[in-house]
Structure 1
Amino acid sequence: MESKTYAMHPVATGYLASLRARGCSPNTERVYAGRVALYLNYCRLRRLQWSRPGFTGLSCLQQWLVETPLPARAGRLAVQEVRHRSRGTANAVMTVVGEFLRFGAARGQVPSETIDLLARPRLLRFAPPGYDVGEQGQFRQVQEAAFRFKAVQPGFEDLSPAQIRRMIASRPRARDRFLIALLACTGLRIGEALGLHREDLHLLASSRLAGCGIEGPHVHVRRRTGNPNRALAKSRFPRTVPVTAELVVLYTDYQYERDRVEQALAEPMVFVNLFRSARGRPMAYANTKEMFDRMARTVGHACRPHMLRHAAATRWLRDGIDRDVVQRLLGHVSPLSMEVYRTVDDAELRAAVEHVASLQGQR
């Protein structure tokens, strides 16, 4: 069999290293690496100079992203329907390509005329909430991406309480049940959960003996850059999130399961490998994704960690919890970040219509 050799791309390697230096998560680095590789392969196939693709090259790349079928998913024997990238995904790829080219320009590898192609002026007719257009409207003139589809926002996929219970019940291992319940209960990001240390879990009624004055069981979310699994909390501000008694019970089950693995006894991280090679080492993003993919096939619907975060935020808002409190629980700095989590369901729409109808009947 003919062997394949690969050459390191120095600018792409430097760009990925810059992501790491900025404190981006390993998951972000992995996704961006795939998108940069996609661009470089496109240029190689089209015989384009990656630093000088030209307007036509970038425009054709934009169309190629949505018109080229995606490769078949591995491990499935059934006939699969042809899949294509959505316009939203193509926009995300083009954003990374633009950032990569700007990185190269800052290091003298990409000419300025290439950078000039990436943006165009736009007049804001309707400013987003919180945007200051200036006293004379001088800030209405902004720069927007030149190669970007007008895509419909797909919204977030939600998980019902019944679906979450089914997900937990489908897992034979106490560790996985605790991880799913933790994400659903607290709304933590997956990087925050995988980055937890055992000292961050204060699950007693009082933690004063541990030097913590917060009453009740809770979790401390802290950003650490030296985790061996490179798990990283996105927010740079520490926070505490209360947890329920049911979650404490699930953690007790996990502790019993974990204590049976000798290699895990001294590991300070909460989530560790217990059932395969490198036992006792901290769980990584790849392990977690594999577990969620298997679970999705078992329960018959999409399962991703961020869906549990969205479900927690939506549940809090529907139950009447103040938006500022939910923002604090989720670790968002800006209140504008809360907009994506408010999902209106069919029951709320019907209740609104029936309420108006009842008021008209009273009149």
Structure 2
Amino acid sequence: MPWRVERADFEDGRNGHLIIDDESFQPHPEAIEFVAAMYATDRSPNTVRTYLRPVAEFLNWGESQGVDWRRVTILDMARFKRSLETTATRTGRVRAPSTVSVHLTAVCEFLRYCAAAELIASEVPMQLVERKWMPRAAGHGPKMESGYVRHVRASALRVRPVEHAPETLSKDQQQAMIDGTSTARDLFLFRLLLDAGLRIGEALGLRWEDMHFLPDSSSLGCPLPDAHVHVLRRPENINGALAKSPRSRAVPVHDSLVRLYRDYRFERDEKLTEIEVCGFVFVNYTGPRTGQAMSYSNVYQFVKRHAARQGFRATPHMFRHTAATGWVESGVKADVVQELLGHAQASSTKVYLHPSHERMREAVNAVSGSR
């Protein structure tokens, strides 16, 4: 009974994903409750899909190994972890440690939910965490003679991370993506992702009222000067686009982006003269959803095909990595990059502080050449 993740349309008009039986097309009963719980806590469709794929793989692994997932043991999970680390994917490559870690986190969250909902015994997820003593930070936690406090949510199946700089687009690849666009909409989207570093969910959730592109936005009730974009979390977005952080933020944009926005508005009005257009910034130009908000799958497939025609691989999130890396390499301070990206924790921004091999080579050559 192989399980797979499939796209689904829900009664409220939103689309998302479920784990279904590949033969009967029936949804997995416990997984469907897990999906409902994630959507109830405003998880984005992209996050839900990211969690469901490892869960489906875990369920399939259990059936192939004769392991009842409802009674899985720490030894079973160690075997599953080993399988993730050694089994090649469809691309022929083994998973990176960070990917294995994401898989284990998703499965543990699934098991924790099932235990909380009394679908499995509470002992099952409890064996996957261990007590760990952490140094006591000043002013935090109960004071103890040893100077330590107890932290009980440490995973018992840790993966040693391999830190490396995030995958970005080179200058030539950026230019190829921009030069290859055929509409003002696509050009504006690519430049917005590259210049403002938005997540694709944040960009697809933008409304007209979020685009404050006037020199003075006081007439819009906004005290911020110059051109900027407001990023807000809207769980009700019909296309499922959802800002990851519940905290709204304003991201400044360059004047050149304002000009591209004007070109897009003109093009959109020309192409959709007889179509009722929604209030989202990015809409479909063709197909049965013409005039409606673009979805994650629209953009992912479009970016993938567009880059493939140019001879390389790209994803929408690589645009964000490219923007953040560019800011860091230009000398922008980490706290500014953190705020631009909307990271709640400084640790999330730390990955962009890893210098590339080329920059390290330049540093060595600069010093060695002066001797």
Q: Report if aligned partners of 1:105, 1:111 keep a CA contact under 8 Å in 2.
A: yes
In structure 1, distance between residues paired with 2:45 and 2:319: 20
Q: Report if aligned partners of 1:314, 1:343 keep a CA contact under 8 Å in 2.
A: no
Q: Report if aligned partners of 1:205, 1:217 keep a CA contact under 8 Å in 2.
A: yes
In structure 1, distance between residues paired with 2:304 and 2:204: 17
Distance 1:100 1:269, change over 3 A: same
Query: In the alignment, which of 154, 171, 174 is matched to residue 164 of structure 1?
Result: 174
Q: Report if aligned partners of 1:133, 1:140 keep a CA contact under 8 Å in 2.
A: no
Q: What does residue 291 of structure 1 align with? A: 302
Q: What does residue 7 of structure 2 align with? A: none
1:306 aligns with 2:306: no
Equivalence map 1:273-352=2 (5 Å): 273-346=284-357, 348-350=359-361, 352=363
In structure 2, distance between residues paired with 1:100 and 1:221: 30
Secondary structure, counterpart of 1:139 in structure 2: strand
1:183 Cα deviation after fit: 0.7
In structure 2, distance between residues paired with 1:286 and 1:89: 21
| Structure having the larger proportion of residues in strand | 2
1:263 Cα deviation after fit: 6.0
Q: CA RMSD in A?
A: 2.9
Query: In the alignment, which of 84, 97, 100 is matched to residue 110 of structure 2?
Result: 100
1:229 Cα deviation after fit: 0.6
Q: Report if aligned partners of 2:230, 2:249 keep a CA contact under 8 Å in 1.
A: yes
In structure 2, distance between residues paired with 1:200 and 1:268: 10
In structure 1, distance between residues paired with 2:332 and 2:159: 36
1:212 Cα deviation after fit: 2.6
1:12 Cα deviation after fit: 1.1
Point out where structure 2 has 5 or more consecutive residues left out of the alignment: 1-21
Equivalence map 1:99-118=2 (5 Å): 99-118=109-128
In structure 2, distance between residues paired with 1:240 and 1:158: 24
Distance 1:64 1:198, change over 3 A: same
Q: Report if aligned partners of 1:263, 1:280 keep a CA contact under 8 Å in 2.
A: no
Residue identity in the other structure for 1:35: P
1:189 Cα deviation after fit: 1.0
Greater Cα shift, 256-265 or 278-287 = 256-265
1:51 aligns with 2:70: yes
Q: Percent identity?
A: 38
Residue identity in the other structure for 2:96: S
In structure 2, distance between residues paired with 1:354 and 1:133: 51
TM-score where L is the length of structure 1: 0.85
In structure 2, distance between residues paired with 1:143 and 1:325: 31
Q: Report if aligned partners of 1:15, 1:103 keep a CA contact under 8 Å in 2.
A: yes
1:269 aligns with 2:280: yes
Q: What does residue 11 of structure 2 align with? A: none
Query: In the alignment, which of 27, 45, 48 is matched to residue 8 of structure 1?
Result: 27
1:92 Cα deviation after fit: 1.5
1:116 Cα deviation after fit: 3.4
1:265 Cα deviation after fit: 4.9
In structure 1, distance between residues paired with 2:340 and 2:157: 36
Point out where structure 1 has 5 or more consecutive residues left out of the alignment: 73-81
Equivalence map 1:82-93=2 (5 Å): 82-93=92-103
Residue identity in the other structure for 2:258: V
In structure 1, distance between residues paired with 2:244 and 2:320: 14
